[in-house]
Structure 1
Amino acid sequence: MAFQDLLDQVGGLGRFQVLQMVFLCISSLIVYPHIILENFTAAIPGHHCRIHILDNDTDSADSTEALSQEALLRISIPLDSNLRPEKCHRFLHPQWQLLHLNGTFPNMTNLDTEPCVDGWVYDRSSFSSTIVTEWDLVCESQSLKSMTKFLFMAGMLVGSIIYGHLSDRWLAESARWLIITNKPEEGLKELRKAAHRNGRKNAEATLNMEVVKSILQEELEAAQTKTSVFDLFRTPNLRKRICLLSFVRFANYMSFFGLILHLQYVGGNVFLFQVIFGAVNLPANCVAFLALNRLGRRVSQSFFMFLLGISILATTFVPQEMQTLRVALSSLGVAVASMALMCSFAHGNELVPTIIRVTASGFMGIAANVGAALSPLLMILTVYSPHLPWIIYGVCSILAGLVVSILPETRNKPLPDSIQDVEKERKSSRKAKQEDTFMKVTQF
């Protein structure tokens, strides 16, 4: 709690901290619309095979001009299981006998069909143009649409790695991290800057190098050892935490982006769904904030991950006709995914020692972006079963909820400053369990 004393001198939550949060929110507002844009630029409009007798310049135009378009579609394109025109096949020859069925639907499995060799006709009432209509990413080429989303998310993964090193430090560095990483002068400068912006005019007299060194003497001694990403896996307890936290972040991002990137799988009106999904995020974060303070990090995160998995699995098996229920369940899924993400960030930062927290956050961020990149790629599995990707999303979320229960609770506990603190915590926890067992055995 030594560093907390320094924070009290500069102002724990003042104008300086509020400005940092505002800047971060602005950057998030800029990035997020680019991600959800895929729901509109890669939307799949209604479509069916292009047929010759509907073209005005065909030889058969005179003989078919008296027939309606519906009638022409009936004799040219077979019906699917929902009695709608097939999207990927057409009759090899016009089936004129289908004009006189008077509402009956005979067995069409014996009629010869062929793929859409002349292309497709798209319904442009909602989307005038998308990458699907431009490049015909339907039927046999539908998996390429998932690949475009995967490449976009993979670009985010690569960008997070590269530009994490190249970005200008327009946000203030963590003073605690600067001091712990053997940069006390820079850390002191940031503390004074925060104190000045928070209106602490007398901070110059109390904040000096002697005060910093006396308060953080133990941490400064530990900072003499250089750390790298390999230090995340050298000690058993920290290695366990990083692996578990990375899996939780991976599963959380995969499920979250699986929901927000595939609105058309929930229902037809993607514009309405986008508004609803965006609206539930703010109250969801408020609920997560209350849960973190009341229930703790571990219980809250585990509960939200379980609820996320259940809502995804429930949505998967609700029929398409029950649109209201599907929207309600998927909105719940987006809300609890946001709650789980907030809990994951807080819990993850509090479980990792300060001296290597930035490195650990970067590693867990990579795991998260891998999950985000895989979320659209899993949609290729719909060729085997339309439910398979969603089952994977749901099951992974439930597994992540179980994994969170293995991690220790961090609410109202001091942050670990060094790797040794994490390992000492493990030893003290084991010792406390042994003593508790001894007390129970010798009680009688």
Structure 2
Amino acid sequence: MRGYDEITAFLGEWGPHQKLVFFVLSLSVFPNGFGGLSIVFVGDVPEHRCSIPRNLNLSEAWMNRTIPLEQERGKLQYSKCRRYRLDVIVNLSETFTEPDSFNMSEVEQEPCLNGWEYSKDQYISTIVSEWDLVCNNDWKMPFSMSIYFLGVLTGSLFSGMLSDGFGRKTVLFGTMAVQTGFNMLQVFSPNWEIFCLINFLIGFGQVSNYVAAYVLGSELLGRKSIRVTYSTLGVGISYACGYMFLPLVAYFIRSWWMLLFTLSLVGLLYIPLWWYIPESPCWLLLKGRVQEAKTILQHAAEKNGVTLPEMLFNDIELDDIKDKNVKSFTITRLVKNSNIRGITIINLIVWMILAVGYYGLSLNTPNLAGDDYLNCFFAGAIEIPANIAAWLLLRRLSRKFSLSGSLFFGGIVLFFIQFIPPNLSILATVLVMVGKLANTCAFAIIYAYTAELYPTVVRNTGVGVSLMASRLGSIISSYVFFLGVYYEFLPYILMGSLTVFSATLVLLLPETVNVALPDTIDQVQKMAGFKSVCCNRYYSKKNETAGENSMVVI
């Protein structure tokens, strides 16, 4: 019985139709590269100190001494959250002409009761200076990003259902409209709470757009090797270009609301793509819209210069396509069987750690030595060789060792950043970029690897649950570099250790390269490379009690 890929094999593997689909769908991912990471500049924290009222009749010398000096990361700096009590300072200024003649350490301190003054050297405004997200409210900035990733998590839960219910193309453009519209609306946020609410909706739309583009490309590009190229070079490099586009725009636009508005306008440029991206014929067949599917396949055949077969498919083959795509197993099937349970647990841990590392490194760009805009640009540019490396590894080497090796290398690099002396801070920045390259490469590999680990009957469910785990990791990532307040290198130590740990876990997974994709759960049980130790011991003991010499492995 022919499947959908065999039915559409007459189109060829890499004709004008496939090339056009590859290009325009890759292009649709471009806004995703800067959408979620715009907070790097929109939410950056400018230099700030307590605001001092100008009507206090203080001399310039006394005004300069109203802010206490504090040690921060080995440097003596003006306090960002405290000031000396102003009523005491005014009284002292009437007694002492020069503040140096009095010991200021004896003066009581107070919080910034009159707000803050923010440096305009780098930014005209950010959401931090707009709504005073500093000192006791400094938790609100990373929370703004966590809210975005919570929207991404929610979108992950519903994007598949939306795509299956309304069509890949409809959801792709519908969610692109959601991103563009709410990005424009976010510019007019009257307060931080409304900004966060809209950020949630933007996150929901963005991941649904990404998933729809990924699924649509997988269904329109027939051959497996082309799909791998699309998921790494196509989607990955387009995303990286969007990432690199962000600092270029942010360099010239230093106001947070103007930056968001300018980035949102990019979405309007994608309206013409509606006439170039077809709906998935596979989805149309599943919905019984056979004539529409034939029309799209006829158009594709004409583009490729081939003839549409007189008998494209019959009713039996249509029923077979529907049967293969029915979700006959629930999420519980991922944990009921010992072998799949082990694969699922390891996948969840590895995906979560990967997301913590990727977004943690991406969001930490402003804290690196050197120019913020160049660092962000390099962080995006490094993803291009990372995706090329992932593509080459997927084509030539073992999935398991490629993923484990990338994770191990990235983790070791991040862990050793703590040993770089302060006078070589640029070297530390270089190591961060190398760690991000390895992390991005691993992320590209794990998409393909996870899909190959699960059998057909639970493949969509397995990949979907893994993606949800990564969304939880991205929510946590917003606070990872918050730990740097306690110790500068603690975030790198944490991420490096976790990444090396995940590299070890990957070695327990079965290999999938040059192995036929499993269709049933029974076939997964026969895959070599992973055994559930606890279950083996249990069944071995049970068999010994029964007088059997062999051990049953499930």
Range of TM-score over shorter length: 0.7 to 0.9
List per-residue Cα deviations over 1:370-400 (Å, max 9, x = no partner).
1111110334444544433333222221111
**Higher mean Cα deviation, 278-287 or 74-83?**
74-83
Counterpart CA distance in 1 for 2:519 and 2:460 is 12
Are 1:124 and 2:120 matched, yes or no? Answer: yes
CA–CA distance in 2 between the matches of 1:381 and 1:360? 32
Aligned CA distance change for structure 1 residues 193 and 32 (closer, same or farther; 3 Å): farther
Structure-to-structure mapping, 1:47-86, within 5 angstroms: 47-52=48-53, 55=54, 57-60=55-58, 64-65=59-60, 67=61, 72-74=63-65, 76-80=67-71, 81-86=74-79
Q: Is the 8 A contact 2:327 2:457 kept in 1?
A: no
Q: Secondary structure at the match of 2:49?
A: strand
What's the CA shift for 1:306? 1.4
Instruction: State the match for 1:234 in structure 2.
Output: 336
* Residue number in structure 2 paired with 1:251: 353
Aligned residue number for residue 490 of structure 2? 388
Equivalent in the alignment of 2:265: none
1:201: which partner in 2? 306
Alignment partner of 1:134 is 2:135: no
Aligned to 1:281: 383
Deviations for 1:282-308, whole angstroms, at most 9, x for unmatched residues? Answer: 121111211222332111111111122
Residues 39 and 270 of structure 1 are in contact (CA less than 8 Å); yes or no, is this contact kept in structure 2? no
TM superposition shift of 1:417 = 1.9
Contact 2:509 2:530 in 1 (8 A): no
Distance 1:303 1:164 in 2: 31
User: Does the residue aligned with 2:117 lie in a helix, a strand or coil?
Assistant: strand
Matched, 1:409 2:409: no
Q: Matched residues in 1 for 2:410 and 2:104: separation?
A: 42
Q: 1:400 to 1:107 in 2, by over 3 A?
A: farther
Please state if 1:169 is matched with 2:171.
no
What TM-score do you get using the length of structure 2 for normalisation?
0.65
Q: 1:31 to 1:225 in 2, by over 3 A?
A: closer
How many Å separate the matches in 1 of 2:32 and 2:404?
A: 28
Superimposed CA distance per residue, residues 241-272 of structure 1 (whole angstroms, 9 cap, x where no aligned partner): 12212221111111100111121222363211
Out of 370-379 and 15-24, give the one that drifted further: 15-24
1:351 corresponds to 2:425: no
2:30 corresponds to:
29
Determine the structure 1 residue equivalent to 2:362: 260
Which amino acid is 2:309 matched to? E
Q: Does the CA-based 8 Å contact 2:359-2:474 persist in structure 1?
A: yes
- The equivalent of 1:144 in structure 2 is 140
Deviation at 1:166, TM superposition (A): 2.1
Counterpart Cα distance in 1 of 2:70 and 2:149: 36
Quick one: distance in 2 between partners of 1:9 and 1:152? 43
By how many angstroms is 1:410 displaced? 1.5
2:45 is matched with which residue? 44
**Match among 451, 465, 486 for residue 363 of structure 1:** 465
| Structure 2 spans left out of the alignment, 5+ residues | 170-215, 223-279, 533-554
Three-state SS of the structure 2 residue aligned to 1:337 is helix
Larger of the two Rg values belongs to structure: 1
Aligned to 1:291: 393
Alpha-carbon offset, residue 310 of structure 1: 2.2
Distance 1:222 1:90, change over 3 A: closer
Structure 2 CA distance, aligned partners of 1:276 and 1:337?
15
Cross-structure match for 2:111: 115
Cα 1:86–1:76 shift into 2, 3 Å: closer
Q: 1:396 & 1:136 partners in 2: Cα distance?
A: 34
Alpha-carbon spacing, 1:49–1:319, altered in 2? closer, same or farther (3 Å): farther
Q: 1:46 Cα shift?
A: 0.7
Q: Structure 1 length normalisation: TM-score?
A: 0.79
Distance change in 2, residues 1:329/1:115 (3 Å): same
Equivalents in 1 of 2:432, 2:97: separation in Å?
Answer: 44
The residue aligned with 1:332 is 434
1:272 and 2:265 matched:
no
* Counterpart-to-counterpart distance in 2, 1:24 and 1:246: 28
Aligned counterpart, 1:442? none
> Are the counterparts in 1 of residues 510 and 527 from structure 2 also a CA contact under 8 Å?
no
SS at the partner of 2:417? Answer: helix
Q: Return the letter of the residue paired with 2:150.
A: A
- Separation (CA, whole Å) in 1 of partners of 2:530 and 2:51: 72
Q: How does 1:211-230 map to 2 (within 5 A)?
A: 226-230=328-332
Report % sequence identity.
26
Aligned residues: 412
Task: Name the counterpart of 1:440.
Answer: none
Residue identity matched to 1:286: I
- Aligned twin of 1:441: none
Amino acid at match of 1:169: R
- Listed as ranges, the gaps of 5+ residues in structure 1 are 431-444
Deviation at 1:312, TM superposition (A): 2.5
Residue of structure 1 in register with 2:82 after alignment: 89
Please give the secondary structure, in 2, of the residue aligned with 1:87.
coil
* Structure 1 residue 407, shift from structure 2 partner: 0.9
Taking a change above 3 Å as real, the CA distance of residues 316 and 264 of structure 1, as seen in their structure-2 partners, is farther
- 1:16 to partner: Cα distance: 4.2
3-state DSSP of counterpart to 1:389: helix
Structure-2 separation of matches of 1:288 and 1:347: 11
**Is the CA contact (8 Å cut-off) linking 1:10 and 1:198 kept in structure 2?**
no
Q: Is the 8 A contact 2:511 2:528 kept in 1?
A: no
- Asked if the contact 2:364/2:481 (under 8 Å) is kept, the reply is no
Superposition RMSD in Å: 3.9
Query: Displacement, 1:193?
Result: 6.0
Q: Distance in 1 between matches of 2:108 and 2:442?
A: 52
Deviations 1:65-122 (A, max 9, x none): 5x5xxx8434643242402222222233558798659xxxx99766543322222211
| Amino acid paired to 1:77 | P
**Aligned CA distance change for structure 1 residues 24 and 393 (closer, same or farther; 3 Å):** farther
The CA distance in 2 between the partners of 1:291 and 1:255, in whole Å, is 21
Structure 1 distance, partners of 2:415, 2:160, is: 35
Does the CA contact (< 8 Å) of 2:511 and 2:529 recur in 1?
A: no
